[in-house]
Each structure stands twice: as structure tokens, then as C-alpha cells.
């Protein structure tokens, strides 16, 4: 059992109509380099001794634990333990530069090391398997990259719209490289349109067609504005470029043996569904499910799409 008293307690953001699932524990863990990472843990007390395993549920770029309370509740009802943490530099984890509004990291290997640290120091020695890794967007990219280093991290993995490529890459990627060479790596990426803290109207969002869930996230941000970043830096864009191109190298994916379910949203305006499909073909033990009408965040989408999603997840984890 985890001795939560030895950890620094972390803040939790809730709405009157949207709260953390029962018995959640929020705290900070000092990672491999003493960076403070905010962690949320739900031990499935209701099904203690009969749990189906343990899920590490990881968000995408500029997301945070609270956004996934509904998803966590769903997995708890399916008899899983659930662990989440805010990636360094976002949510309520420690920021990487003095400006707390900028998404900054110099290399995604830092994220890999945080992932491994939390698995080895919190998850494996306190929870029962099987261990399931679930990553959305940037989180999916990081988890897949971690599997290349260690096939044994998880028994199964679910990748939701993993960040494996962007639209208009032929122009975008060389542009990012030039800016990284000649620009200031801590500046907002030129052309990325940081929102400077202003809300994006629902009609202009590129994430979901579900108005209720979209505004639920906005309400969380209104309660704690610094839980969300304003935009990406040149350094983050270059780090993303490098990890994406590295994963496309010859023979990179072909020896990954983990069983993987990949969710591919064909109306995605954030990542490129074609690159996701190409990666699925390279992985020897993957299953690709296309959602023709879904936007980027299927876990925040309308019930009509989520019903099919959860059916596929249940079949995969059964």
C-alpha cells in the first residue's frame, strides 16, 4: 500500500456538477531529476481483490488530470485501478521555464523518463496487473516511443489519436527546424497562434463536436487558469518534430510486440490520421479502429461515438 502521507498533497480542481471519482488521491512525486509531477491515483476499493488490473491513463498536449474524471469513473466501474499524472510542463506539474504559460521541453526523452520513474516507483510495486497503458495524442506518442525501449512496460496499450504526424508537414517540419536553428527556443512558435489565455469559441474548436463536454473543460480552466497553457514554444515544436521523425525510421516499429489498439479519428484536425494508419501497418500486433465522423478527442466526444469506443475497448481488454 502507498504511504500517501510521505508525499506533498496536490490541488484538485472540481465543479459542482463534475467531481473526482471517490477516494482519489492527489499528490506530487519528485521525478528522476527532482521535477515535481502531480499524480492522481484511484485504488479500486470497491472491487479489492477482484480488480481486472491497473490502467495508466495519460493525456495529450496541454491537458490535465481533471479533464478525464468521466473516463476514470468508467474504468473504475469496469474493476480497474487507475493512475494518471500531469506531464511535466503542463497541468499542475512543475513548469520547465519561468513563463508558466508556455509549453516547453527540449527533448521528449524527459517524458519517457518520467513515465518509467512513475511505473517503477509507484505502479508496479503497489498495484496488480495486468498493466494497461492508455495515451491520448502526445501521451500516445510518448507511450509508443517508450515501448520501443521496453516491450514489457504494459501487457496491452490503447492509443487514442496518437501524435504521429501533422497536416501540411512538408512545409511545417522544415519551418520548425529553421526556427529552432535561428530563433529563440523559448519564444512562442511563429504561426502557431497562441491564445494568450483567451477562450476558443466552441464553433472554432478543433477537438470535439460535443458542446457539453467542451464547456465542462472550459469551466475547469476558469477555476484555475494556469492549469492550461497558452501555446507551444519553438523548443517544444522541435522536440515533437524529432520524436515523430525518429519513429518513422526504417525498422523502428517492426519489433514492438505489445498488443495495441489504435483509435484513429478521420475528421482529426490536430494530428494526421494517415500517419496513424501507416504506423498501425508497421506494428506487428496492432488493431486499428477508424471513426469516420470523430474529431481529435474521442474521449470527449458525443455519446453516439463513445458507445462504439467503449465497445471496442471492452473487447480489447476482455
Q: Which string of DSSP letters, residue by residue, matches the chain?
A: ---GGGSEE-----BTTB-PPTT-EEEEEE-TTS-EEEEEEE--GGGTT---EEEEEE--TT--GGGGHHHHHHHHHTTEEEEEEPPTTSTTSPPSSS-TTEE--S-THHHHHHHHHHIIIIITTTS-S-EEEEEETHHHHHHHHHHHH-TTS-SEEEEES--S--TTHHHHHHHHHHHHHHS-TTSBPTTS---TTPPPPGGG-SS-S-HHHHHHHHHHHHH-GGGS-SEEBHHHHHHHHHHHHHHTSTTSSTT--SEEEEEEETT-SSS-HHHHHHHHHHSTTEEEEEETT--S-GGGS-HHHHHHHHHHHHHHH-
Query: Has residue 46 got a pLDDT over 90?
Result: no
Q: In this predicted model, what pLDDT tens digit does every residue of 88-137 receive, in sequence order? A: 999 999 999 999 999 999 999 999 999 999 999 999 999 999 999 999 99
Residue 208's pLDDT is 97
Residue 44's pLDDT is 87
Q: What residues does 25 pair with on adjacent strands?
A: 41
Share above pLDDT 90 across residues of the chain, in percent, rounded to a whole number: 95
Q: In this predicted model, what pLDDT tens digit does every residue of 270-283 receive, in sequence order? A: 999 999 999 999 99
Query: Has residue 309 got a pLDDT over 70?
Result: yes
Query: Has residue 82 got a pLDDT over 80?
Result: yes
Q: What is the mean pLDDT of residues 66-84?
A: 97
Q: What is the mean pLDDT of residues 210-217?
A: 98
Q: In this predicted model, what pLDDT tens digit does every residue of 250-273 receive, in sequence order? A: 999 999 999 999 999 999 999 999
Residue 161's pLDDT is 98
Q: What residues does 263 pair with on adjacent strands?
A: 160, 289
Under the banding of pLDDT at 50, 70 and 90, the label for residue 318 is confident
Q: What are the chain's domains?
A: 4-317 (3.40.50.1820)
d(CA 303, CA 2): 35
Q: In this predicted model, what pLDDT tens digit does every residue of 152-173 receive, in sequence order? A: 999 999 999 999 999 889 999 9
Q: In this predicted model, what pLDDT tens digit does every residue of 52-65 receive, in sequence order? A: 999 999 999 999 99
Query: Has residue 48 got a pLDDT over 70?
Result: no
Average pLDDT, the chain: 96
Other CB atoms within a 10 A radius of the CB of residue 88 amount to 22
Look at the pTM and tell me if it is higher than 0.95: yes
Query: Has residue 1 got a pLDDT over 90?
Result: no
Amino acid at each position: 500500500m502507498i504511504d500517501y502521507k510521505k508525499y506533498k498533497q496536490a490541488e484538485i480542481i472540481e465543479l459542482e456538477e463534475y467531481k473526482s471519482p471517490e477516494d482519489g488521491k492527489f499528490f506530487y512525486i519528485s521525478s528522476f531529476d527532482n521535477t515535481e509531477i502531480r499524480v492522481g491515483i484511484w485504488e479500486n476499493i470497491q472491487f479489492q481483490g477482484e480488480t481486472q488490473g491497473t490502467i495508466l491513463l495519460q493525456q495529450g498536449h496541454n491537458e490535465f488530470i481533471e479533464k478525464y474524471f468521466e473516463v476514470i469513473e468508467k474504468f473504475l466501474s469496469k474493476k480497474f485501478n487507475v493512475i494518471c499524472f500531469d506531464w511535466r510542463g503542463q497541468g499542475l506539474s512543475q513548469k520547465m521555464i519561468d513563463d508558466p504559460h508556455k509549453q516547453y521541453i527540449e527533448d521528449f526523452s524527459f517524458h519517457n523518463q518520467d513515465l518509467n520513474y512513475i511505473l517503477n516507483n509507484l505502479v508496479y510495486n503497489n498495484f496488480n496487473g495486468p498493466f494497461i497503458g492508455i495515451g491520448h495524442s502526445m501521451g500516445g506518442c510518448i507511450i509508443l516511443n517508450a515501448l520501443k525501449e521496453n516491450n514489457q512496460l504494459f501487457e496491452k496499450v490503447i492509443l487514442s489519436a496518437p501524435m504521429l504526424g501533422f497536416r501540411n508537414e512538408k512545409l511545417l517540419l522544415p519551418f520548425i527546424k529553421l526556427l529552432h536553428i535561428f530563433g529563440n527556443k523559448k519564444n512562442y512558435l511563429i504561426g502557431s497562434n497562441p491564445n494568450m489565455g483567451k477562450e476558443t469559441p466552441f464553433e472554432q474548436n478543433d477537438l470535439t463536436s460535443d458542446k457539453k463536454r467542451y464547456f465542462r473543460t472550459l469551466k475547469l480552466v476558469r477555476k484555475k487558469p494556469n492549469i492550461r497553457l497558452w501555446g507551444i514554444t519553438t523548443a517544444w515544436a522541435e522536440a515533437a518534430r524529432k520524436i515523430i521523425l525518429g519513429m518513422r525510421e526504417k525498422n523502428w516499429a517492426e519489433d514492438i510486440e505489445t498488443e495495441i489498439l489504435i483509435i484513429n479519428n478521420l475528421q482529426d484536425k490536430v494530428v494526421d490520421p494517415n500517419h496513424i494508419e501507416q504506423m498501425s501497418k508497421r506494428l506487428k500486433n496492432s488493431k486499428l479502429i477508424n471513426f469516420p465522423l470523430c474529431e481529435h478527442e474521442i474521449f470527449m466526444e458525443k455519446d453516439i461515438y463513445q458507445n462504439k469506443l467503449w465497445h471496442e475497448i471492452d473487447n480489447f481488454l476482455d
